[in-house]
A and B are shown apart, each in its own frame.
Chain A
C-alpha cells in the first residue's frame, strides 16, 4: 500500500504546486522554462528573480528526501561524469527546442488537454524507454 501511497501523495503535491502557480500567476509551471528564464532573462522581478526563487524552493523541498519518508530504493552508485554531462546537454538543449519537460508538458500540458504536450510526452517517454533498453 505504501508502494503507491507515497507516489500518489507526491503527485498530489506536484499537482497542487502547478495549480496554485497557474491560478495565482497565470503561468505554466515548467521547470526547464523557469531555469532558462532564471539564467537568460533580463534582470527583472517577473522574468528572472521569481523563476529563480521557484527553483530555490524546489531544491529546498527536494532536500526533504529521506526526511519525510524513508528511502525505499538506494541512490545509484555515482556514475561517470561523462554520462551525466552527455545526459545534461541533451536534457538542456532538448527541453528548450521542444519547449518543455516532464513538468511543463507531462503534467501541466496534459492537464489542460494540449495536443502538443501529449505528443511531446509520448515522444520523450518512448525515447527514454528505448534509451534504457539499449544502455542497460
Chain B
C-alpha cells in the first residue's frame, strides 16, 4: 500500500507541474521577471496548492496517527537561523539563474534532456557537498 501511495503521489505531483507548465523554465522565469512581461501563473499554482494543503493540515489535526505510519514526522522547530537564511538565498540565486527548482529539474530529464542532465547532475553534486560537509562537522 505504501508503495502504491508513494508512486501515486509522485505521479500526481509531476502531472501538477506539467498541467501548470512549471515544467517549463521559460514560464518560471516569466514569473520571476516582475519588471518584464510578467507571467503571474505561479501565484495561482502555489495559491491553489496551499489551499488544499491547509485543508489537509486541518484533517491531520483530527487524526491520532497517519494512515500508513505509526507517528507524524512533521518538523516542529521554529528557530530562524543563519543556515536557513543563507541556504534559501543560495537556492533563490540558483533558481533565478535557470528557472529550475528540484521538481521541474527532474521532469526536465525527460522533457528537456539537453538541459536536465547538466542541472540535475549539478544538484546531486551540490547536495553531495553538503552531505559530506555535514558528516564531517557532526563527527568533529
Contacts and interface: CB of A to CB of B under 8 A. Distances in A.
Interface string B102-140: 111111011110110011111111111111001000000
Nearest to A126: B92
Q: How large is the interface on A (under 10, 10 to 19, 20 to 34, 35 or more residues)?
A: 35 or more
Interface SS of B by simple majority: helix
Contact of A89 (B94, B101, B134): B94
A11 B44 CA distance: 7
Contacts, number: 468
B26 to A, nearest CB: 5
Interface of A: 3-4, 6-29, 31-32, 35-36, 39-40, 45, 50, 53-69, 71-76, 78-79, 81, 83-99, 101-103, 105-108, 110-116, 119-121, 123-133, 135-136
Interface of B: 2-3, 5-27, 29-30, 32-36, 39, 41-42, 44-57, 59-60, 63, 65-69, 71-75, 77-80, 83-107, 109-112, 114-115, 118-131, 134
